[in-house]
C-alpha cells in the first residue's frame, strides 16, 4: 500500500510538471488551446447554473463527472488527478494492438501476488474512479510530496470492503483510532527491499504467461523492515490513503465543515466536465497559481527528491496568474488515444495575445501525401518574435540568441529579423518528405529524404531580394563552385544552387508556385516532386485526414507525423544483426502499430485547447 502511495504521488507530480510548466511556456509561444465548458455545480444547488449552448465545434457533451470525492478536499487544492478504474474502459484499450503488445511485454514484471491480490481483495469493492490530490499547505509546516498527497477511492460495496479491512488488521502493526467518529488505521510498517518476499522478476519470458506460485493475497505476512508509515481513513463512501494522519484528518475536517470544499468550487466543476471524445481514462484539474506555489515550497525540502532550481528564473509567476485553471484528459476514441489540455484564462488576460485560428489551410496542398512529418501554421515572423522574446528573458539563452543573429549578419550581411523572416507573414509549413533526388541523396544513396519550407508572403519583393542576396553570398563564399541557375520543371520556373553546375548536386532550390507562395527545398531533385504541385497532396491523403478530422477546426495549424512512412525510412539504417533480436522485433511490433501522431491548438473568446492524437492499429481478429 505504501509503495502504491509513493508511486502515485511521484507519478502525478511528474505529469503535472509537464502539464503546468509546459503549458505556461506554451502561453508565451502562442501555442493556444481551446476550452468550451460552461459552469454548472450539481453538488450544490445554490450555485447550480443552466448549461449554455456550446459555441465552438460542440466539443464537449453535457455530462458531469462523478465528483463525490471533492466533498473531502479543500476548495483551494492545487491539483486533483482522477483515474478510471472500471474494467470496461480498459478493455476498450485492449482493442488496440499497441496496448495489447505492451501488456504482453510487461505483464510478467507484475508479481502474481499483486496481480491476483488486486482481483480478490480490492476490485470487489473499488468504485470506478480513484482520485489523487495534493493538499494545500496550511502554513504550519513545510510542503513534502508524501505528506501532502492523498488518495481517495470510492467504495461501491461496503460489505465487500470488510474482508479487505479484516486482512489489514490481521496483518498486524496497525493502530486503530477514531477521529470525529471516523475510523483511522495507522501503521509504521513498510516495504524493505532486502526483506521483501515478492518473487524475483523473470529475465525475459516475452509474451509468455507467468503462472502464479503464490496464494492470491497481497496481505500475506512478510518479514518487512519498518519504514515510514501509511495512514488509512474509512470515510463515508470512500477509502482514503495518505502518509500522515494529519492529511486524513484534514479530509475529515473539510467534509464535516460543509464549507469551502472542492465540490463547491465552480471553476473545478467547469474544468473537469467530460470531453466529447468520451469518458476519460485519466483526467486532471490544476490551479496553476496554487500549484506553482506548491512546487516552489516542495523544492525547498531535499527529502522530496526534486532538483533544486529557481523556478522564477525559468517561468514567471505572472504567466500562471493568466489562467484560472487547467484541465487535462486522456481518452480513447475510435482512431486511438487522445490527449487534451483545456485552459481557462483569467478575466484580466489580454486576448490580443491569442494566436488567430486559420480558417482555410491552403498550405497543406503544397506538401506530398507521403510526407514523413510536418508542422504548419500562420505568420512565422510573429511566432519567431514571440519565442525570441520569451527566450531573451532567460539569461543563459539570451547570449545564444545574440550570437545567432551576429553569425547570420557576419556571414550573409543580412539581418535575420528584418531581412530573412520579416516577410514570412502568411501561412507556412516545414516538412520532411520522401524523395529520390536532392542534396541528401547526393550525400548518401540511402537518404531518400528531402526537407521543405512552404511559405506565403504579402511582400514578394522583399523575399526575392533576400533570396538573391543569399545566392550571391553562397556563390562568392564557394568561389564559383556553386552556380545559381534558372531551370524549368513542367513549365514551372525553378532556381537551383548547383555544385559545379550539376543539378544532381544541387544544394537548394526554390520556386514561386503562385504569386505569393514560395517553395524551398534541399535540392533540385527534391523540388521536382513538389512543383508545380505534388502528385497527391497531403490534404487528400487518407492517413492525414484520419489523423486530423477529429481535431478542432479551424485551428492554429497542425503537427503531423506519418509513422508508417517514417519508420520505413528509419529501418533502412538499422544494422542487419538486429533483425533477429527479439527485443528489437518486439519494439518494431509495438511502434509499428502507431499509424500517425498529430496535434493542434485552437482558441476562441471562451478559452484555449490543445489536442494530441495517436492513431493506433486495431487488434485484428
pLDDT above 90 (res 335): yes
Main-chain phi, psi angles of 434, to 5 degrees? -75, 135
How many Å apart are CA 342 and CA 70, to the nearest integer?
A: 20
Domain boundaries along the sequence of the chain: 2-345, 358-379+424-470+513-603
Q: What is the mean pLDDT of the chain?
A: 79
**Mean pLDDT of the region 25-30:** 35
Distance between CA 327 and CA 271 in Å, rounded? 5
Q: Which DSSP string do the residues of 560-606 spell out, in sequence order?
A: EEEHHHHHHHHHTTS-GGGGG-HHHHHHHHHHTTEEEEEEEEEE-SS
CA distances 166 to 46, 72, 172, 185, 244, Å, are 41, 25, 10, 12, 21
> Are the C-beta atoms of 332 and 281 separated by less than 8 Å?
yes
Which is nearest to 563 in space by CA: 377, 370, 431?
Answer: 370
Q: Which pLDDT value is given to residue 291?
A: 87
Q: Which residues pair with 455 in a beta bridge?
A: 428, 518
pLDDT tens-digit map of 533-549: 999 999 999 999 999 99
Within its chain, how far is the Cα of 57 from the centroid?
Answer: 22
Burial code (b: 16+ CB inside 10 Å, e: under 16) for 139-160 equals eeeebbbbbbbbbbbbbeeeee
Residue 196 has pLDDT above 70, yes or no: no
SS3 92: helix
Does the pLDDT value for residue 2 go beyond 70? no
Q: Rounded to an integer, what distance in angstroms lies between the CA atom of residue 474 and that of residue 42?
A: 67
- Look at residue 61 and tell me whether its pLDDT is greater than 70: no
Give the residue carrying C-alpha cell 545567432: 404
* Closest among 390, 283, 377 to 329, alpha carbons compared: 283
For the stretch 280-312, pLDDT in tens is 999 999 999 888 888 877 777 666 666 666 666
Give dist(CA 376, CA 363) in Å, integer. Answer: 8
135 has pLDDT over 70? yes
Determine the Cα–Cα distance for residues 123 and 130; give it in Å rounded to an integer. Answer: 12
Which three cell numbers mark 589?
A: 511490433
Residue 16 has pLDDT above 60, yes or no: no
Comparing 129-133, 272-276, 364-368, 485-489, the range with the smallest average pLDDT is 272-276
| pLDDT for position 456 | 97
Q: What is the pLDDT of residues 215-273, one digit of tens each?
A: 444 444 433 333 457 899 999 999 999 988 889 999 999 999 877 899 999 999 989 88
Q: In this predicted model, what pLDDT tens digit does every residue of 555-597 receive, in sequence order? A: 999 999 999 999 988 888 888 888 788 888 888 888 999 999 9
List the one residue out of 317, 268, 273 whose CA is nearest residue 291: 317
Q: What is the pLDDT of residue 422?
A: 95
Summarised one tens digit per residue, pLDDT across range 176-194 is 899 999 999 987 544 333 3
The runs of H, that is alpha helices, within 171-314 are 245-257, 266-271, 288-300, 311-314
Instruction: Name the pairing type of β-strands 174-179 and 149-154.
Output: unpaired
Instruction: Assign 1 a pLDDT band (cuts: 50, 70, 90).
Output: very low
199 DSSP assignment: P
Angle at 285 between CA 349 and CA 122, to 5 degrees: 180
pLDDT band at 329 (very low <50, low <70, confident <90, very high): very high
Window from 36-40, 348-352, 404-408, 478-482 with minimum mean pLDDT: 36-40
pLDDT at 603 over 90: no
> For residues 242 and 106, which has the higher predicted lDDT (pLDDT)?
242
Find out whether 612 and 93 touch, Cβ atoms under 8 Å: no
Q: How far apart are the first and last CA of the chain?
A: 38
Residue 320 has pLDDT above 80, yes or no: no
Q: Which residue has the higher pLDDT, 49 or 182?
A: 182
Q: What percent of the chain is modeled with pLDDT above 70?
A: 77
Mapped onto helix, strand or coil, the DSSP state of residue 473 is helix
How do residues 549-561 score in pLDDT, each as one tens digit? 999 999 999 999 9
Task: Give the pLDDT score at 588.
Answer: 87
Residue 440 has pLDDT above 80, yes or no: yes
Residue 306's pLDDT is 66
Cα three-residue angle 313-315-320, rounded to 5 degrees: 140
Q: How far is CA 156 from the centre of its chain?
A: 32
| pLDDT level of residue 23 (50, 70, 90 thresholds) | very low
Burial label, 191 (beta-carbon count in 10 A; 0-12, 13-18, 19+): middle
pTM: 0.81
Of 533, 390, 337, nearest in space to 454 by CA: 533
- Mean pLDDT for 189-212 is 41
CB 598 within 8 A of CB 552: no
- 142-159: average pLDDT: 86
Nearest to 224, CA basis, from 199, 198, 188, 191: 191
H-type helices in 58-207, by residue range?
87-93, 97-106, 112-117, 158-170
The cell 468504485 sits on which residue? 127
- Whether 384 shows a pLDDT value over 60: the answer reads yes
- Cα separation, 41 vs 285, in Å, equals 16
Amino acid at each position: 500500500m505504501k509503495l502504491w502511495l509513493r508511486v502515485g504521488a511521484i507519478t502525478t507530480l511528474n505529469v503535472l510538471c509537464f502539464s503546468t510548466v509546459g503549458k505556461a511556456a506554451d502561453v508565451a509561444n502562442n501555442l493556444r488551446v481551446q476550452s468550451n465548458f460552461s459552469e454548472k455545480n450539481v453538488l450544490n444547488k445554490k450555485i447550480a447554473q443552466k448549461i449554455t449552448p456550446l459555441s465552438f465545434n460542440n466539443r464537449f457533451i453535457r455530462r458531469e463527472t462523478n465528483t463525490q470525492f471533492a466533498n473531502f478536499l479543500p476548495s483551494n487544492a492545487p491539483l486533483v488527478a482522477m483515474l478510471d478504474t472500471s474494467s470496461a474502459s480498459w478493455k476498450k484499450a485492449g482493442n488496440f494492438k499497441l496496448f495489447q503488445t505492451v501488456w504482453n511485454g510487461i505483464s510478467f514484471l507484475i508479481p502474481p501476488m499483486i496481480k491476483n491480490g488486486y482481483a480478490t481483495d480490492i476490485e470487489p469493492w473499488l468504485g470506478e474512479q480513484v482520485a489523487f490530490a495534493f493538499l494545500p499547505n496550511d502554513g504550519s509546516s513545510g510542503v513534502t510530496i508524501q505528506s501532502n498527497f492523498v488518495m481517495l477511492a470510492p467504495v461501491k460495496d461496503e460489505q465487500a470492503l470488510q474482508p479487505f479491512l479484516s486482512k489489514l488488521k490481521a496483518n498486524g502493526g496497525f493502530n486503530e483510532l477514531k477521529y470525529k467518529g471516523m475510523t483511522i488505521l495507522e501503521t509504521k510498517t513498510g516495504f524493505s527491499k532486502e526483506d521483501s518476499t515478492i518473487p524475483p522478476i523473470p529475465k525475459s519470458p516475452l509474451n509468455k504467461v507467468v503462472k502464479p506460485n503464490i496464494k492470491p493475497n497481497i496481505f500475506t505476512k512478510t518479514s518487512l523492515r519498518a519504514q515510514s508509515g501509511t495512514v488509512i481513513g474509512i470515510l463515508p463512501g470512500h477509502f482514503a490513503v495518505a502518509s500522515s494522519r494529519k492529511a486524513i484528518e484534514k479530509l475529515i475536517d473539510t467534509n464535516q465543515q460543509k464549507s469551502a470544499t472542492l465540490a463547491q468550487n465552480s471553476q473545478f466543476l467547469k474544468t473537469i466536465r467530460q470531453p466529447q471524445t468520451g469518458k476519460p481514462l485519466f483526467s486532471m484539474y490544476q490551479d496553476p497559481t496554487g500549484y506553482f506555489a506548491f512546487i516552489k515550497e516542495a523544492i525547498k525540502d531535499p527529502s522530496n527528491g526534486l532538483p533544486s532550481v529557481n523556478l522564477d528564473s525559468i517561468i514567471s509567476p505572472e504567466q500562471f496568474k493568466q489562467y484560472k485553471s487547467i484541465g487535462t484528459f486522456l481518452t480513447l476514441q475510435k482512431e486511438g488515444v487522445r490527449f487534451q489540455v483545456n485552459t481557462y484564462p483569467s478575466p484580466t488576460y489580454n486576448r490580443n495575445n491569442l494566436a488567430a485560428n486559420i480558417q482555410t489551410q491552403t498550405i497543406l496542398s503544397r506538401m506530398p501525401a507521403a510526407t514523413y512529418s510536418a508542422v504548419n501554421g500562420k505568420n512565422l515572423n510573429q511566432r519567431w518574435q514571440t519565442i525570441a522574446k520569451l527566450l531573451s528573458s532567460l539569461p543563459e539563452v539570451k547570449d545564444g540568441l545574440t550570437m545567432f543573429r551576429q553569425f547570420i549578419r557576419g556571414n550573409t550581411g543580412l539581418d535575420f529579423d528584418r531581412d530573412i523572416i520579416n516577410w514570412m507573414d502568411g501561412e507556412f509549413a516545414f516538412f520532411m518528405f520522401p524523395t529520390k533526388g536532392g542534396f541528401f541523396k547526393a550525400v548518401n544513396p540511402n537518404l531518400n529524404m528531402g526537407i521543405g519550407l512552404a511559405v506565403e508572403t504579402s511582400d514578394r519583393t522583399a523575399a526575392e531580394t533576400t533570396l538573391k542576396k543569399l545566392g550571391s553570398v553562397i556563390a562568392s563564399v564557394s568561389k564559383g563552385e556553386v552556380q545559381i541557375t534558372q531551370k524549368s520543371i513542367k513549365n514551372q520556373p525553378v532556381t537551383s544552387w548547383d555544385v559545379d553546375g550539376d543539378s544532381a548536386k544541387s544544394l537548394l532550390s526554390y520556386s514561386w508556385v503562385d504569386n505569393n507562395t514560395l517553395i524551398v527545398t534541399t535540392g533540385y531533385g527534391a523540388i521536382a516532386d513538389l512543383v508545380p504541385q505534388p502528385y497527391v497532396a497531403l490534404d487528400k491523403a487518407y492517413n492525414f485526414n484520419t489523423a486530423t478530422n477529429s481535431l478542432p477546426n479551424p485551428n492554429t495549424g497542425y503537427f503531423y507525423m506519418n509513422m508508417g512512412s517514417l519508420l520505413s525510412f528509419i529501418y533502412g539504417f538499422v544494422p542487419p544483426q538486429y533483425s533477429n533480436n527479439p527485443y528489437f522485433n518486439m519494439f518494431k511490433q509495438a511502434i509499428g502499430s502507431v499509424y500517425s501522431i498529430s496535434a493542434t491548438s485552437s482558441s476562441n473568446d471562451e478559452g484555449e485547447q490543445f489536442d494530441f492524437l495517436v492513431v493506433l492499429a486495431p487488434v485484428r481478429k
